[in-house]
Structure 1
Amino acid sequence: MTNAKVLRSSFMLVILAILITLTACGGNKGNNSSSSASSPAASSASSEAASEAPKEKVTLRIASAYTPDHTFGPAIAQIIDEFTKQHPEVTVEKEFLPVAELDKKLTADRAANNLPEIFIIFPGAGTADYVKEKKIIDLSEYLNADPDWKDGFISGALDNLKFEGFPGIYAAPIGAYSTGFYYNKELFQQAGVEPPKTWDDLLAVIGKLNAAKITPMAIGASESWRSEHLFTALFYKWNGAEKAKGILSRALPYSSPEVIEPLNKMVQLVEAGAFSKNYIANNYAAEIADFNNGKAAMRYSGSWTVGESTGPNSPAGFGDKVGFFPFPYFADKEEHKDSWMGGVSDSFAVSSRAEGHQKDMAIELVKTLTSTASSKLITEMAHDLTAVKADVDPAKSGKLIAEVSKAMSTGKEFSGDISAFEPYKPANTKLYDLTQAVLLKGITPEKAAKQLDDEVAKSK
């Protein structure tokens, strides 16, 4: 009996030991399971802690012409301020200067290999040098990864930032523009004239305005970019925008009729009495003032004129008097009727010097500046066009920008300054100077063209 009890007791002890062992194992499994179940939370907590960890502090230098006086200036400043609130680790240094000073600054920065992380470039031969020298990055990868960003640009906008021989897209455009004539409706009514459609119509309007003792056109002729813009528009209406590529390829010499005839048309405007007696001395500010104060009936200018004539610096109510019409075409060149000087202008490039988080934030800031939301804000505040589609409120953007946009929609081909097709810097500079000299009647179109060809010959 005693032995049986001992045997039973021993057996029970063995069973108990096994159960304890199994329970212990089960407990471990339970702990493992519990640990596994809590692992997403732990991972989430870890991720949250990581996301809350201080990010690397970076500084972004951004260079542009968006000073407080620029039509885009106030909106751009607001967008950047909001960006730095969203990204407190980022300090943005704004290197904003007037265009001429900005160009000199970027030239010096480029030579010193000290370009800002973000800076403005323009489509054309000059920008191709940045690409060749690998000074700016290809944004294709980032555009393709964000279809909303890529699809937000107006049709064909990104094509302007592609360069032959270098696959990719090298900047994100913010500015878009069209050029044409802005006119004072009241002064037109006084002279009994309507917006002209053809070149001959324009000359007739100039004659009637003069007869009514109204200066037909304001122009800041002392600044050579004004004459270069006028020449560009005449070139496209005479030849079509595609013809400008002949300057780049050297298939079209400056002494060709295609170049000389638009220069002759500039002289024709002067001889028709299109400008005031002191047009030679007027700068761009005087051009704006003459038009905005009713001293001239028309301006040939870009879409930025909307902001100049309707913004806070213009006379109260003046914007309601302003209308727009496309640059008149030549009746015997009607096939080029819808060739416009216009398209994409200032675009944001990212310097190849930017690395790591600084590069990520530079791209993020460029995306923000060229977003649909930013475009809406800029258009409504600046009363100007952008290269990004946006559903703007006409009550905020104004009727004139809507009129310009509607007229621009009739264009079939757009191209920028003729100077963008001249890759040789000395010839490029001379092109500006000589179009100005022709407009001031200081040189004949033929002699100006020969000087340009002689300058180009030095590049060979």
Structure 2
Amino acid sequence: MATPPARKPRGRLLIMATATALLATACGSATNTGGAASDGVITLSMHNPDSRTQDPATWQLVEEFNSRHPDLKIRLEGQPVEQHEQRMTIAAQSDTLPEIFWVYDSLAKTMVKDGDLLDLTPILQEKNLEAKFSLSMLAAFRSGDGIQYGVPYQALVTGFYYNKALLDEHGIALPETFDELLAAVKKLKEEGVVPIAQGANSSAFSVWAFLTMLDRFGYEQKYPAILAGNARYDNPDFLRLYGHVRELAEAGAFPENMTTQTYAQAVASYTAGKAAFLDAGVWEAAKIEKSGVGRSTGFWAGPTFADGVGEQKLVMNVPSAPFVVSAKVKEDKKKYAAVKAFIQFYYSDEGQQILVDNAQPPVTTYRPQVDPRKHPVFAAVLDEAAKPGWKSPAAQPDLVVSAATASAMYDSFYGVMSGSLSPQEAARSVQKSLK
């Protein structure tokens, strides 16, 4: 992942030269939002190099918008997450940000402090768009002084997909507690089945279900003090969780090729019926439905822990990292009009239905009807996210820290899963990233 974004220095000549060189070699030329004449073309920069296959909902939204607005056009581009974060950090320093872009909230918070981001409040107040969001969806991306610097890109619902037929074949009920999960893992391993599909190669971020487990050990209550230096990440509660992850690893929960296969390959192993569980999120629902295991797949928020801290009935159903807009857009009337029109289309009921059609839950209060006979996996995800008596944290743990700390968190889990780090070493590595 990218290093923590630096504050803008007063002298910019060196930064400009460095930014130009890095963007040219690693990311392509930077988007130019200036110029005497405007053609109304704006760039939407994403964290996927191929949105058509990796994020079909966004791709379809852009295609539909462009077909309806021949005088305005969105150019969709993207890079892998780490490269994208680096590019946006450099672009902010060199005043070459694209008009709209996805970014981790930790970096967005730095950008809004530096005056790089547009206040979206006026856009959201038009057509009463603001009323379409629940308070938490917008509050997550509002600064202390009231600037609405971002809007939720998608809802983030994560956990474990599971193959009901495979579990039934081996006489295993869906676990509820960690002890039940551990027992299921041992039995699956003994009978030659990969218990949990994981892929760490170039995909270290793919530990979503384990990030939810952090919240079951008090992360949401602890992290403000940890970031302030008044508490430590390598605390006894988190160490117990890492100890449980080691128990899973020692029981054979993860594939032998976990460190060499990618997340996409892990998904492929699950859809091929070679693994009982898959650590993923709602974005995989459509793909799984089209696979051979679609009709036998359910969705699970993950185990509760007898030695956990605080609320155990947690399901991750939070706003994803935000869309943000470059402050320079306001200097160009046609680009501003394009940005406004796209945001208003994206969060309209029609735009949200396009998300739903691509097996993404709406981020507004729009309530679509999903036929479980046609979309059983997507319906299972929505049902688990709305399970009576269960709550959601306010944010996913990695989205409230710097990119460097988020990366350290991912590596810490995969380090314990692979046996390359002890629980103590893993937690200490995250603590070191905070200094």
Aligned length: 392
State the Cα deviation string for residues 277-308 of structure 1 (Å, max 9, x = none).
22232211221111011111111221112123
Question: Quick check: 1:182–1:301 contact (8 Å CA) kept in 2?
Answer: yes
Question: Quick check: 1:56–1:89 contact (8 Å CA) kept in 2?
Answer: no
Residues 1:363 and 2:340 are matched in the alignment: yes
Q: Could you state the TM-score of these two structures normalised by the residue count of structure 2? A: 0.82
Residues 1:210 and 2:189 are matched in the alignment: yes
Report the CA distance shift for 1:441/1:363 in structure 2 as closer, same or farther (over 3 A). Answer: same
Pairing 1:216-255 to 2, within 5 Å after superposition: 216-222=195-201, 223-227=203-207, 229-239=208-218, 241-255=220-234
Q: Distance in 2 between matches of 1:373 and 1:106?
A: 30
Residues 1:385 and 2:367 are matched in the alignment: no
Q: How far is the alpha carbon of 1:100 from its aligned partner? A: 3.5
Q: What RMSD in Å do the two structures reach over aligned CA positions? A: 2.5
Shifted more, 382-391 versus 196-205: the winner is 382-391
Pairing 1:58-97 to 2, within 5 Å after superposition: 58-65=40-47, 67-73=50-56, 75-97=57-79
Q: How far is the alpha carbon of 1:332 from its aligned partner? A: 4.1
Q: How far is the alpha carbon of 1:455 from its aligned partner? A: 4.2
Q: How far is the alpha carbon of 1:309 from its aligned partner? A: 1.0
Q: Distance in 2 between matches of 1:263 and 1:248?
A: 20
Aligned twin of 2:323: 348
State the Cα deviation string for residues 102-145 of structure 1 (Å, max 9, x = none).
3333233223211111111343x322111111111111233233
Aligned twin of 1:142: 123
Q: Distance in 2 between matches of 1:160 and 1:232?
A: 18
Q: SS in structure 1 opposite 2:194? A: coil
State the Cα deviation string for residues 47-105 of structure 1 (Å, max 9, x = none).
xxxxxxxx9742211112463444532x4334333333433322322223343443333
Residues 1:171 and 2:146 are matched in the alignment: no
| Structure 2: 5+ residue stretches without partners | 1-36
Q: Distance in 2 between matches of 1:243 and 1:94?
A: 38
Higher Rg of the two aligned structures = 1
Report the CA distance shift for 1:279/1:88 in structure 2 as closer, same or farther (over 3 A). Answer: closer
Q: Distance in 1 between matches of 2:103 and 2:213?
A: 25
User: Structure 1 vs Structure 2: percent identity of aligned residues?
Assistant: 24
Q: Could you state the TM-score of these two structures normalised by the residue count of structure 1? A: 0.78
Report the CA distance shift for 1:358/1:277 in structure 2 as closer, same or farther (over 3 A). Answer: closer
| Structure 1: 5+ residue stretches without partners | 1-54
Residues 1:118 and 2:100 are matched in the alignment: yes
Pairing 1:99-110 to 2, within 5 Å after superposition: 99-110=81-92
Q: Distance in 1 between matches of 2:58 and 2:219?
A: 35
Question: Quick check: 2:195–2:277 contact (8 Å CA) kept in 1?
Answer: yes
Question: Quick check: 1:119–1:350 contact (8 Å CA) kept in 2?
Answer: yes
State the Cα deviation string for residues 213-236 of structure 1 (Å, max 9, x = none).
222111113332124x34422211
Residues 1:418 and 2:397 are matched in the alignment: yes
Question: Quick check: 1:206–1:272 contact (8 Å CA) kept in 2?
Answer: yes
Q: Distance in 2 between matches of 1:397 and 1:111?
A: 48
Question: Quick check: 2:161–2:280 contact (8 Å CA) kept in 1?
Answer: yes
Letter in 2 for 1:387: V
Residues 1:130 and 2:111 are matched in the alignment: yes
Report the CA distance shift for 1:365/1:326 in structure 2 as closer, same or farther (over 3 A). Answer: same
Residue 412 (structure 2) aligned to one of 431, 434, 445: 434
State the Cα deviation string for residues 12-55 of structure 1 (Å, max 9, x = none).
xxxxxxxxxxxxxxxxxxxxxxxxxxxxxxxxxxxxxxxxxxx9
Q: Distance in 1 between matches of 2:305 and 2:261?
A: 28
Q: Distance in 1 between matches of 2:210 and 2:300?
A: 18
Letter in 2 for 1:192: G
Aligned twin of 2:3: none
Residues 1:445 and 2:423 are matched in the alignment: yes
